[in-house]
Amino acid sequence: MKNDRVIIFDTTLRDGEQCPGASMNLREKLEIARQLARLKVDVIEAGFPVISDGDFEAVRTIAKEIKGPIIAGLARCVTKDIDAAGEAVKPAGKRGRIHVFLATSKIHREFKLGKAQDEIIRLAVEGVKRAKSWVHDVEFSPEDGSRTEPEFLIEVCKAVVAAGATVVNIPDTVGWAVPDQYAALIKQLREAVPAFQNGKAIISVHCHNDLGLAVANSLAAVRAGARQVECTVNGIGERAGNASLEEIVMALHTRADFFGGIECGVVTKEIVKSSRLVSRMSGLIVQRSKAIVGENAFAHSSGIHQDGILKKRETYEIMDPQEVGWGLTELPLTKHSGRAAMAVRLKHLGFKMTEADVAGIFARFKEIGDKKKFVYDDDLTALVEGQITEVSETWSLEYIHVTSGNQTVPTATVRLKKAGAKKGEPDVLQDAGTGDGPVDAALKAIDRLTNTRGKLMDYQLRAVSQGKDALGEVTLKADFGNGEIITGKGASTDVIEASARAYLNAVNRHINSGKAKLKPAQP
């Protein structure tokens, strides 16, 4: 196979965000988009503009502010969807793409859509033409393509390409495919549709991981002629997730001998930074044994392995850890470091902060600096992410004190400040709660003060950096009774305080969602 290039289409902000509990606000999405641009992905699918005002605004803002990658918006083959996507990606100019989709498999036609094959083709063609009136670059996806009859799929591909589609994506929507079969389908399409051979359109693949085969299927498709791969950072997404961007990229890079020199433009040294940012923004922790970006990805505990590594790294490592962004942090800051030094460090780390943001981060930086000897890059990143993930604070933490032990009832005293308190209503409230432990007691006290009742669905605590004085970062998920899982994040050298901050972050998100039934605060 001759030297060639594969387009990396990142859908972290669209399909990745559809993972339950991974919902992100505009600032979080914008920071991820900036990092994806530094990673040099070719396409950023920024969202599904028609589904909400928030999604529309996120896509439009990313299209306006992010330079470099193509910015895509998803749409069903429905006029209002396509027009919303067209408006959203308009600021990207010639880099705008509309990605339209319509189910084509027999099971979807019969049980979801209730439409015959000729009607599906008509709707697909109309959708592509409508999108073409907005942008030159139109992608079409026959949803559940891997389970669609190959002969019908060929008809669909020919029809949408004739209507103006520049990319045709063959999604393995439910993770049903296996590599040999999927590769054979891609090869069959490539041979049957002239536009895939003469360069007028390219084949894309979008694989889900229900059988753990998303990456294997994607790579098999590349070998068979696909020239765009749709994937997400850390493989996040619906159900078992999507094909993992870092695994796709490093497989192509590390096994160039097998893939015949097929390349992509991703800057591999940005991979670990991208992984950590997406993990923190989405609240989805990366498993330690995750390939490429897991904490154990380059760890060796076996004596035989350690001996081999010391003699020659390549004996047990097929990749250089530094090649994907692993490595020692640079010179850390201390409590004596000034605001200017911290701002320079933020810029070096790739964060774009306003003066107000820098002021807020510096205040927290000084608090942390008083409690620990060094403030590492990871500590600083956690503080920045705390600022980014912050929502309009109805409630803010002023004070927390806990008593706990194996011979006493865990008790937490919490003092909160309420923004926008009505006349005659106290703006500072204090209460105490007891629980099974200090965290449970603190959360119950917050529930009493805020008149909410959250059920903790998940709780994760991790050390952000090294040392006994490391910053503790808490990510939790809570259900406040409306069925929506809300993520909260908080960081502190005190894990109880970090837990309270994370839960309060979730409470404020719940209130700001408009679904909370607020009650007057009680003194």
Mean pLDDT lowest among 252-266, 316-330, 371-385, 433-447: 316-330
Q: How confident is the model at residue 523 (pLDDT cuts 50, 70, 90)?
A: very low
Helices (H), 265-354: 271-282, 303-311, 339-348
Question: Smallest Cα–Cα separation from 355: which of 342, 367, 368, 366?
Answer: 342
pLDDT given at position 351? 83
pLDDT given at position 468? 72
- The strand pair at 137-143 and 167-172 is best described as parallel
How far is the C-alpha of 477 from the C-alpha of 483, rounded, in Å? 12
Specify whether the CB–CB gap between 205 and 230 falls below 8 A.
yes
How far is the C-alpha of 497 from the C-alpha of 472, rounded, in Å? 9
pLDDT tens string 124-168: 999 999 999 999 999 999 999 999 999 999 999 999 999 999 999
pLDDT tens string 86-105: 999 999 999 999 999 999 99
Residue 325, C-beta contacts closer than 8 angstroms, at least 6 positions apart: 268, 269, 270, 271, 272, 273
CATH fold match for the domains 4-282 and 395-512: no
* DSSP secondary structure of 376-408: -HHHHHHHHHHHHH----SEEEEEEEEE--TTS
Helices (H), 133-213: 150-163, 179-192, 194-198
Q: How confident is the model at residue 186 (pLDDT cuts 50, 70, 90)?
A: very high
pLDDT given at position 129? 98
Does residue 300 register a pLDDT over 70? no
Does residue 353 register a pLDDT over 80? yes
Which DSSP letter does residue 41 get? -
Q: Which CATH number fits domain 4-282: 3.40.190.10, 3.30.390.50, 3.20.20.70, 3.40.250.10?
A: 3.20.20.70
Helices (H), 255-338: 271-282, 303-311
Stretch (H or E) spanning 9: strand 7-10
What is the sign, positive or negative, of the torsion defined by CA atoms of 480, 481, 482, 484? positive
pLDDT given at position 390? 64
Task: Give the best-scoring range by mean pLDDT among 64-73, 372-381, 477-486.
Answer: 64-73
pLDDT given at position 307? 53
Question: Smallest Cα–Cα separation from 377: which of 398, 335, 348?
Answer: 348
Q: How confident is the model at residue 522 (pLDDT cuts 50, 70, 90)?
A: very low
Does residue 385 register a pLDDT over 80? no
pLDDT tens string 430-479: 999 999 999 999 999 999 999 999 999 999 898 887 777 788 889 999 99
- Tell me the residue type at 204: S
Residue 32, token pair as written in the block: 């991820």
CATH superfamily of 395-512: Alpha-isopropylmalate synthase LeuA, regulatory domain (3.30.160.270)
Specify whether the CB–CB gap between 228 and 188 falls below 8 A.
no
Q: State the CB neighbour count (10 A cutoff) for residue 466.
A: 11
Phi, then psi, of 99 in degrees rounded to 5: -110, 105
Mean pLDDT lowest among 180-189, 379-388, 511-520: 511-520
pLDDT tens string 163-177: 999 999 999 999 999
Does residue 517 register a pLDDT over 80? no
Specify whether the CB–CB gap between 121 and 159 falls below 8 A.
yes
Which residue is it, tokens 């959360």?
443
Report, as an integer, the average pLDDT of 324-332: 71
Residue 26, token pair as written in the block: 């505009």
How far is the C-alpha of 167 from the C-alpha of 67, rounded, in Å? 21
Specify whether the CB–CB gap between 279 and 285 falls below 8 A.
yes
Mean pLDDT lowest among 152-156, 236-240, 244-248: 236-240
Report, as an integer, the average pLDDT of 287-307: 72
How far is the C-alpha of 512 from the C-alpha of 129, rounded, in Å? 39
Mean pLDDT lowest among 17-21, 61-65, 219-223, 254-258: 17-21
pLDDT given at position 499? 96
Residue with more model confidence, 427 or 36: 36
Domain parsing of the chain, residue ranges: 4-282, 297-326, 339-389, 395-512
Output the average pLDDT for the chain. 89
